[in-house]
A and B are shown apart, each in its own frame.
Chain A
């Protein structure tokens, strides 16, 4: 018998339909993956099961959990289920915990609420649960606050809260999307173990086909609120009977065509980074002793040649973004020198940096946060033009913006719109248009596609590749996603704890990593081909 059964579920918020006739079932100790792009209704399906939908939501259909009619249950009945028989883990571990309460209080709270246990008993159980999720007492006493933990550790606390009372069903909504690949692999392992230990059903929601394939026995694919395909994971993906499933699988493995690859040593370097270090002031331990600095970037040297595409990969917190900021002259190195086109840029005044800035642009990760919402596209894309020697006249400026928009696949009529009128993928195109309007020689892209859906991601990667081939722009791609590195770069630099530990041709490094850090990254990275092959093998 199924533990959770969703039949013909439809959902509308106000007048907007969100879900249409969704069917899904989970048996005890079964892992079911729910896959889809952003806005497909994955999270809303989960929130329907928890009955934590926004106010104006109206539901139709049947949701049965353990014999209880969820849609018809009273709020008191739901409160009794939530956190006891149904646990939930969310995407963003950095904000999922209350910053003013200790982790002990937060894990014990649900236990006390549901079991009416006393404080001491609840704390003892919380302690055991934290031990179980890999936060031992010696390093993580109950009195720790969330801000003292890293993202991966916080996600473990969230899992401890959700699993403290051994729920029959765990819903995990993109539980590893905000984590780097190594942490992702650890958290997925933990979830898999908890399922096996407690015969718990797991609804794993993800946009990442590879992750779901590694984890799920069965999967359901959602698109715009409708089920596009469902069934046994390996068979659903290997047959790829449904065109949308096929499309998703292909997009997630997409490698853009780049006929002209660029090998190192063939030209004078465009960018030279020479033994650069960056220290940040550490936390003071005593009033009277100066704090010990934290070395974020440690003696890093690298070169990038014109038209070369280099990927800088590493785990979160390894110093890659700090390095990028110094290359862009947004931050000053503590030691070392950075030269761009043979000229030193470290320690120069802002006015002297103008020519360098013109030839060096940036694309950021978040296409939503990187535009002023009150300005029109024309002004936003034209922003870097103030770096030019001669300011273009208004008509000329409009022409330049139109040209840049055309190059990224947008039309001249988009010039008079505001950022909120564009989708995430289109906004990332705007970021790229802004970056290339001054015809730069180097573009630094910090996780430029990690916030995008797979199909949009494939298009943006194509665009990056095309601009590299056509305009000869060199790239520094900062990413923790090895598929992006593999798809886009000629060379890979692996960074670990502030140092560059490996450098080489992309295929060489990713296929035969030599350093420990690179091996860890490669083995933890989910790979769709590998995952499907393994599934099929298991099933014989």
Chain B
């Protein structure tokens, strides 16, 4: 068990380092000089050069990477070129919107997908299954921003249950804050849930044909009990894999959804930073997202070992 976990941990760390190199290198070759942007186009070449020296932009590439990377480790992301505040402050302000949004969406998509998958697998080929999978097909096909617009129209404009956009801040109380995250989370979760439900269904159907399902039936367990007790846990491995992979798409989705719902999250911050050539903010946020995806996949790897004793080895 420890050997397996240690191996996964090392792989995750190496991936993180490689990803940071790629992110840094890509930002380097992008056009646009931050010093020139900050000073405006009327600044003289000397002024720009002076600022470049101050910002450390003239140091050799490797040194700058090491400086940036060691900063990351102590959560020192540098200063934003446009806002002239530490990037970490910007991030801290926004992450309290984006992280709850992503987590609610992830929880929601799992909570929808697993029961739908079990329901469909238990009624394979019958009307209920066809209906559920038809809905899932629709969920896969429709993009989340369109879902978002429809949800706004239905729940905010028509039923007036939730705000159409904006975020009151956590200081306004937990419920108003969560309420304003509900629609965006649903919009994010539905397409993910659709894919996950299909994966769960097909994994379950495959497992239901295994010999040990027959053994469980021969024990006298009713079909439903066999499905939940024996089949589901075995079907979790492919479901977890897809869940981990989907997390990256979920994060990408938040950038779009935050703009649709006018939420002050990381997604909106990164979009603004790109427009303003605020490279250091872009770099920092991309690294955060990369780290989040790697962390979630590490969690998935760990949960494999929880689900499947064969990965744990002898204790």
Partner of B308, one of A76, A79, A83, A100: A100
A345 CA to B218 CA, complexed, in Å: 51
Q: Which of A91-99, A299-307, A328-336 contacts B (4 or more CB under 8 A)?
A: A91-99
Interface residues of A (CB under 8 A from B): 50, 52, 75-76, 79-84, 87-88, 90, 92, 95-102, 106, 109-110, 113-114, 145, 147-148, 158, 161-162, 283-284, 287
Are A95 and B218 in contact, CB atoms less than 8 angstroms apart? Answer: no
In the complex, A305 Cα to B79 Cα: how many Å?
Answer: 82
B window 30-76: CB within 8 A of A: none
Q: Which residues of A contact B234 (CB under 8 A)?
A: 98-100
Q: Quick one: which of A98, A99, A162, A287 contacts B2, CB cutoff 8 A?
A: A287
The CA-CA distance from A79 to B214 in the complex, in Å, is: 13
B215 touches A97 (CB 8 A): yes
Question: Per a CB cutoff under 8 Å, which of A98, A100, A110, A287 touches B220?
Answer: A110
Q: A80 — nearest CB in chain B belongs to which residue?
A: B220
Question: A95-B210, A99-B212 in contact; A82/B218 too (CB < 8 A)?
Answer: yes
Name 24 interchain pairs, CB-CB below 8 A, sorted by A: A50-B218, A52-B214, A52-B217, A76-B222, A79-B220, A81-B220, A83-B218, A83-B220, A83-B221, A87-B218, A95-B210, A95-B211, A97-B215, A98-B212, A98-B215, A99-B308, A100-B233, A100-B308, A101-B233, A113-B219, A114-B220, A148-B314, A161-B215, A287-B6
Q: B221-238 interface mask toward A, CB cutoff 8 Å, 1 = contact, 0 = none?
A: 110010001100110000
A83 to B308, CA, bound (A): 26
B residues near A161, Cβ cutoff 8 Å: 215, 219
Instruction: Report yes or no: A79 in contact with B309, Cβ–Cβ below 8 A.
Output: no
A82 contacts which of B219, B229, B314 (Cβ < 8 Å)?
Answer: B219
CA distance A148 to B215 in the complex (A): 19
Q: Please give, as numbers and ranges, the residues of chain B lying within 8 Å of A145 by CB-CB distance.
A: 309-310
Closest-CB distance, A167 to chain B (whole angstroms): 10
Docked Cα-Cα span, A204 to B98, in Å, equals 63
- B309 contacts A113, CB within 8 Å? no
Q: A97-B212, A284-B3, A287-B2 are in contact. Are A109 and B221 (CB under 8 A)?
A: yes
A79 touching B230 by the CB < 8 A rule? Answer: no
With A76-B222, A83-B218, A95-B210 already in contact, 12 other A-B pairs whose C-beta atoms are closer than 8 Å: A52-B217, A80-B220, A83-B220, A83-B221, A87-B218, A88-B218, A90-B218, A99-B310, A106-B215, A109-B221, A113-B219, A161-B219
CA A76 to CA B225, docked complex, whole Å:
13
User: Which B residues are CB-close (under 8 A) to A106?
Assistant: 215
Q: Which residues of B contact A113 (CB under 8 A)?
A: 219-221, 225
Residues of chain A contacted by B313 (CB below 8 angstroms): 283
Interface size class of B (residues with CB under 8 A): 20 to 34
How far, in angstroms, from A101 to B309 measured CA to CA in the complex? 8
Asked if B307 lies at the interface with its beta carbon under 8 angstroms from chain A, I say: yes
B211 touches A90 (CB 8 A): yes
CB distance from A158 to the nearest CB of B (A): 7
A75 touches B222 (CB 8 A): yes
The residue of chain B having its C-beta at the shortest distance from the C-beta of A95 within the complex is B211
Within 8 Å by CB of B212, from A79, A87, A96, lies A96
A408 to B: closest C-beta gap in Å? 33
A99 to B231, CA, bound (A): 11
Closest chain-A Cβ to B41's Cβ sits at a distance in Å of: 60
Distance, CA A165 to CA B210, complexed state (A): 24
**The one of A82, A84, A99 that contacts B309, using a Cβ cutoff of 8 Å:** A99
Q: Judge whether B9 is part of the interface by a CB distance below 8 angstroms.
A: no
- The residues of B that contact A88 with a CB separation of less than 8 Å are 218
Residues 230 to 277 of chain B near chain A (Cβ within 8 Å): 230, 233-234
Complex: how many Å from CA A88 to CA B219? 8
**In the complex, A147→B219 CA distance in Å?**
21
B127 to chain A, nearest CB (A): 15
Flag if B3 contacts A110 (CB, 8 Å).
no
Residues of chain B with a CB closer than 8 A to A287's CB: 2-3, 6
When distances are taken between beta carbons in the complex, the residues of chain A under 8 Å from B225 are 113
B216 interfacial by beta-carbon distance below 8 Å: yes
Complex CA–CA separation, A22 to B6 (angstroms): 60
Alpha-carbon distance A84/B221, docked complex (angstroms): 11
Question: In residues 1-36 of chain B, which contact A (Cβ within 8 Å)?
Answer: 2-3, 6
A102 to B312, CA, bound (A): 13
B215 touches A79 (CB 8 A): no
CB <8 Å contact, B220 and A84 = yes
| Closest-CB distance, A222 to chain B (whole angstroms) | 21
Give the CA-CA distance A92 to B215 in the complex, in Å.
Answer: 11
A283 to chain B, nearest CB (A): 7
Tell me the nearest residue of chain A to B230, going by C-beta. A98
Most A CB within 10 A of own CB, among B2, B210, B219: B219
Pick the most buried of B3, B6, B215: most chain A CB atoms within 10 A of its CB: B215
The 10 closest A-B pairs by CB, nearest first: A83-B220, A83-B219, A110-B219, A82-B220, A95-B211, A88-B218, A98-B212, A145-B309, A96-B211, A147-B310
CB distance from A165 to the nearest CB of B (A): 9
Considering only CB atoms, which chain A residue lies closest to B7 in the complex? A287
Q: With CB as the reference atom, state the residue of chain A lying closest to B3.
A: A287
A-facing residues in B108-146 (Cβ within 8 Å): none
Chain A residues, Cβ within 8 Å of B230: 98, 101
A58 and B49 CA atoms in complex are apart in Å by: 88
Distance of B124 from chain A, by nearest CB (Å): 9
- Tell me the bound Cα distance from A97 to B230 in angstroms: 10
Query: Which of A84, A98, A114 sits near B216, CB closer than 8 Å?
Result: A98
Min Cβ gap A52→B in Å is 6
A344–chain B nearest beta-carbon distance, Å: 39
Give the distance to chain A from B166, nearest Cβ to Cβ, in Å: 46
Question: In the assembled complex, how far is the CB of residue B150 from the closest CB belonging to chain A, in whole angstroms?
Answer: 39
Cα(A98)–Cα(B212), bound, Å: 5
* B220 and A96 contact, CB distance less than 8 A: no
* Chain B residues closer than 8 Å to A92, beta-carbon distance: 211
* Docked complex Cα distance between A79 and B220 (Å): 4
Q: Which of B217, B234, B313 has most chain A Cβ within 10 Å?
A: B217
Q: Look across to chain B and name the residue whose beta carbon is closest to the beta carbon of A85.
A: B220
Cβ A147 vs Cβ B3 within 8 A: no
Contact check: which of B210, B222, B229, B307 meets A79 at CB < 8 Å?
B222
- Residues of B contacting A83 in the complex (Cβ-Cβ under 8 angstroms): 218-221
A494 CB, nearest partner CB in chain B, Å: 31
Contact B220 A147 (CB under 8 A): no
- C-alpha gap A283/B308 in the complex (Å): 18
For residue A45, give the distance in angstroms from its CB to the closest CB of chain B: 15
Taking the closest CB of chain B, its distance from the CB of A80, in whole angstroms, is 7
* Bound CA–CA A83/B6 (angstroms): 42
From B218, B225, B314, residue with most partner A Cβ within 10 Å: B218
Q: Report yes or no: A79 in contact with B221, Cβ–Cβ below 8 A.
A: yes
For B220, what are the chain A residues with a Cβ–Cβ distance below 8 Å? 79-84, 110, 113-114
**Which of B6, B214, B221, B233 is in CB contact (< 8 Å) with A90?**
B214
Rounded to whole angstroms, the CA-CA distance of A114 and B225 in the bound complex is: 13
Q: Which of A96, A114, A283 contacts B215 (CB 8 A)?
A: A96
Measured CA separation A467–B259 after assembly (Å): 77
What A residues does B216 contact at CB under 8 A?
98, 109
* Assembly CA distance A112 to B225 (angstroms): 13
Q: Hey, which chain A residues are within 8 Å of B2, CB to CB?
A: 287
In the bound complex, residues from chain A placing their C-beta under 8 Å from that of B222 are 75-76, 79
